[in-house]
Structure formats: C-alpha cells, structure tokens
Amino acid sequence: MAGFQSVNKMLEKSFRENWDRSALSNYQGVTLKYCDVAKRIEYLHICFESCGLQKGDKVAICSKNQANWGVCFLAALTYGAVPVPILHEFKPENIHYLVNHSEAKVFFVDEANWEGLSEAEMPGVQVFVRISTLNYILARDEAMVEAREKLPETFRQKYPDGFGKDDLNYYEDTPDELALINYTSGTSGFSKGVMLPYRSLWCNIRFAGETAEPQMTCESNMVAMLPSAHMYGMMFEFLFEMTIGAHVHFLTRVPSPKIIMKAFSEIHPDVIIAVPLIIEKVYKSQIKPIADHNKTWLRIPIVDQIVYGKIREGLITAFGGNFEEIILGGAAFNPEVEQFLRKVKFPFTVGYGMTECGPIITYAHWNRTKRGSCGYAIPGCSIRIDSPNPYKIPGEVQVKGDNVFLGYYKNRQATKASFTNDDWFKTGDMGIMDDDGYLYLRGRSKCMILGPSGQNIYPEELEAVINNVTYVTESLVIEDNGGLTALIYPDFRQAQTDGLEIEEMEKRITDALPEVNKVLPGYAQIRKLEFLSEDFERTPKRSIKRYLYQR
C-alpha cells in the first residue's frame, strides 16, 4: 500500500528524537520522559521473552487512564504482540469473558479491577501484572517469577554501558498485519472484538499529522480524559501524540466537568478531544443562563456581537485558552447547542468515526465545517450512502479504505454481515451527503422507529429537541404500544438550586410537552413522558445503553 510507514518504527523514531522530553504524566502526579517510557518498555520486553510470549500473542490491559497504561500498550505493540485494551468499567464477568475470548497470555490489571477478578476464571493467562507497579501478581510458572526477580541483573547484563536511544529496535509491522483487538462498548449489549490492522492505525496517524488542523508538534500538550481503551481516546489523545513527541497528561480520576476544567486551566492543551456531552453540560449550566439573561441585548445589532464575543472569550478561557479547536465525536451533538456555538464563532468541529475504522471516518476543520455535518471523508477512506437519492433520502453510511478493520475476532458470521458483497463496511448509521461530500448523520438504523404510515423516525432527532427543555438532563425516546414515550432523566441539582420540589419540576417539564410537539413532525409526536430517578445505564463513552429500555 502506497506511502505506508511502520507504526512501530514511527514510534522508535519519535522516542529517539524526543528522548529527554516529557511523554506521559498522571495529572497532578508522576511524569515520565520518553527515555523513561522507553526503559520501562525494554524491561517489559525482557519479561515477555522470559514468559515465552511470541509475536502475535495477545496481551490484555484493563485499567483506568494512567501513564503505565500507555507504557504497557506500547510495550506490547512494539514487541510485536497484540494489545487487547479492555474498558475498566466492565463488570468482572465481562472482563473474564473478554480475556478468555481474546486468548490473552499476559494480563496487565488495575488494583481496583483485580479485587473482583479470579485467576481461576482466566486459565489461559500465564502472567498477571499489577499495572501501577509492573510487578507480578501471579505467574503460572515458577521460572517466570525467578526471571522477574532477576530482571535488574538481566537488564544490566544486556546493557552494560547503560540503555540509550541507539538501543531501540522495535518490531517492524506490515500494513495488513493485526495490530490490536478492541472490544466495542456499544449500545446493543454485545461486545465484539474488532481486529484493527496496522494500516488502520497508520491511516489515522497520517490523518492527524497531515490533514487535521492545527499541526501538533513535540511542543504540544494533550489532556487524555476519554477512556484510553476506547479507540477515540486511544488514537487521538495518546497514540498519535507518541509518534510526534507530544506530552500526554492522563486524568486518572473520574473526569467530572470540574476536574476537566481545572486540568485545562493548568495544562493549556493545544487541541481538545471530547464527547458532545461535556460541551452540552457547559452550555446548559453556564452559557444558556447568560444568553437568556441578555435576550434583550441580543436583539440589538452590534450590541449582540459584543455579548457573543464576551461569551466566546469566556468559553475559550474556560477550556485553557490555548487550543486551536475542540473536536467532538462519539455521539450526536445537540442542534441547539451547535447553532449557538456557531453563532458565537466558538472553534469546534464534529467528526465521525467507529471503532471498526480505528476510528476516524470524516472530519472538517472548524472554519470549514457546515452546520449539522460531521465533515467529509479523510484521505485513504471513501464513503457512500446506500439510498436511491443519497442527497435527500437517508440511507446507510458505508465505508471502504485503509482505515477499515479486518473483521471481528472469532466471529465470521458478524464479520460477513458487516460487509456488502462488494466489500464496503456497513456502519449501521443512517445519513445523507451533500454535493461537496459533507456527511449529515440521521441516526442508527437499529434505533429507527417505523411511524404509523411507514415514516422513518430517528429518535436521536426527537431527543435533541426534548433535551433543550429546562430541567431535562437527557432523554430517550422509545416505541410504546404504538406510540412514542420519552424517558426523562431530570436535572435534580438545578431544580434544587431553584427551590423546586420534584413534583413541581416534573410538572414544568410536562407542561413544555405541547411546545416540544409543535417542533416535531405530526407522525413523531411524543405521547407521554416518564421520569427516571437515576441516570440511564451508559457505556464508558457515556452513550445510553438503549437496548435496556426497549419495550
């Protein structure tokens, strides 16, 4: 394949050139330079050899975001093994299943996860390693334990003059070779092992380094707040940065808006990768009240631009003040929030991707994007709409290119069902495309509800309207006995701040239903509301697990 570069050799080159630069930090904790990361990687390579790990063997990693997560992932990749990142939010029985299904030989695990796990449930694993210390928790063979104890001595014997940048010699990969297996978190309740080849990683790295704007450099800072085990965070908050010598700051605690904003103000990241929910929360809690308070001024020409300018300035400062743009992905973006942010000329863009594409599919820089769109296909990738009129009638988005995966691990049936007869990947997302190639998503084909006269109803579009109602945190529209019901998770904190009892808050939301239905098509009217006392069950990337609420 033209232009392909070995991903591991790109990492090797970056490590050499940035040897004394900061590489991985735990926010408000330890910082590892590239030379420190390289040394830890070499230690692990020696351990892998002592364990008899072969090229192509699987290495499972289950942990919260932290510097050693990055070390372990890179150690497996550059050894020629296949890293298997597992979301640490998964329940023990799911982790047991995924470790076994992937046939992992080595398992790096967080203390918090290990407490609920049993080595007896994972008989194929030869070595269990505590990720925070890189010490063995358990090894099946006593010889492995002895080799680990002698590791410092072995290291000194191998590098009597010390370990330096010239000693780096990472595994050289090829385009269609399996790089990693990433299990989907998904909203359908079934995890599939996505087999990503090195060409997919390279395609995404090339996009970030050549196509995306601005061009990040070895001087750049990145705040890693998305789960590193998820492809969106892994690729654009970590792996790409490692190939250019940038500095990644892992948020090791649950990334609440308060912690995120504090980190931004201290680190001043050059680019921000986020899910829409973060921006939407900031909009509802901080921006909308200011806009509502200044409604009169916003109706006056010139004055409105001054107010919008101050809102924009405050927002940019809140996100660290140094970023070129915020790139949103992973879920649909609320149209009202998008419209307002475009009005104040806030530098954000919405991209589109899937784990199966490693993950990016479409993108456009914030000053070239179009309202409601998620950009156009990245280099090396093509998209088409399976529709008789792809410019007006939504159809399934289908993808072909260097970024597309090899298939689902040990699941030929699911793999076959995911590709067309002419080898285009069927994303399951519905959308249309304009004359310039910009993609506009309409929703998941699996979520689509058939209207009373055969109309296609995309619940995500209805939910975007409902979510704008005051005191609604998030909603989920479901089919219920031939009609549409909206499940509502209210904003209890805001209601309490405003001095409202729960009953009064629910009444205010219910009273807004007629106005909501005025905006919606006649065939997509919300018949009733149901209120939840607790938040929706969510995937680690904060999408609602829709399958749990279907009736």
Classify domain 449-549 at the CATH class level. Answer: alpha beta
Beta-ladder partners of 400? 382
Q: Which residue did the predictor score with more confidence, 189 or 44?
A: 44
Q: How confident is the model at residue 426 (pLDDT cuts 50, 70, 90)?
A: very high
Q: How confident is the model at residue 529 (pLDDT cuts 50, 70, 90)?
A: very high
275 in Cβ contact with 359 (< 8 Å): no
Percent over 70 (pLDDT), the chain: 97
For the domain 275-444, what is the CATH superfamily, name and number?
A: ANL, N-terminal domain (3.40.50.12780)
pLDDT attached to residue 186: 53
Instruction: Please report, for the chain, the start and end positions of each structural domain, with discontinuous segments joined by +.
Output: 9-172, 275-444, 449-549
pTM summary value = 0.85
Identical fold for domains 9-172 and 275-444, yes or no, is: yes
Residue 167, C-beta contacts closer than 8 angstroms, at least 6 positions apart: 42, 159
pLDDT attached to residue 550: 82
Angstrom distances, CA of residue 250 to CA of 31, 234, 269, 419, 438: 10, 11, 12, 36, 33
1 in Cβ contact with 159 (< 8 Å): no
Classify domain 9-172 at the CATH class level. Answer: alpha beta
pLDDT in tens, 460-508: 889 989 998 999 999 999 988 888 999 999 999 999 999 999 999 999 9
Q: What is the mean pLDDT of residues 53-72?
A: 97
Query: 521 pLDDT exceeds 90?
Result: no
What is the identity of the amino acid at 500?
Answer: L
Instruction: Measure the CA–CA gap between 399 and 381, rounded to whole angstroms.
Output: 7
Query: 266 pLDDT exceeds 80?
Result: yes
Instruction: Give the DSSP letter string of 115-146.
Output: TT--GGG-TT-SEEEETTTTEEEEESSHHHHH
Q: What is the mean pLDDT of residues 381-394?
A: 95
Q: How confident is the model at residue 453 (pLDDT cuts 50, 70, 90)?
A: low
Q: How confident is the model at residue 189 (pLDDT cuts 50, 70, 90)?
A: low
Q: How confident is the model at residue 140 (pLDDT cuts 50, 70, 90)?
A: very high
pLDDT in tens, 83-129: 999 988 888 998 999 999 999 999 999 999 999 999 999 999 999 99
pLDDT in tens, 372-383: 999 999 999 999
Average pLDDT, the chain: 91
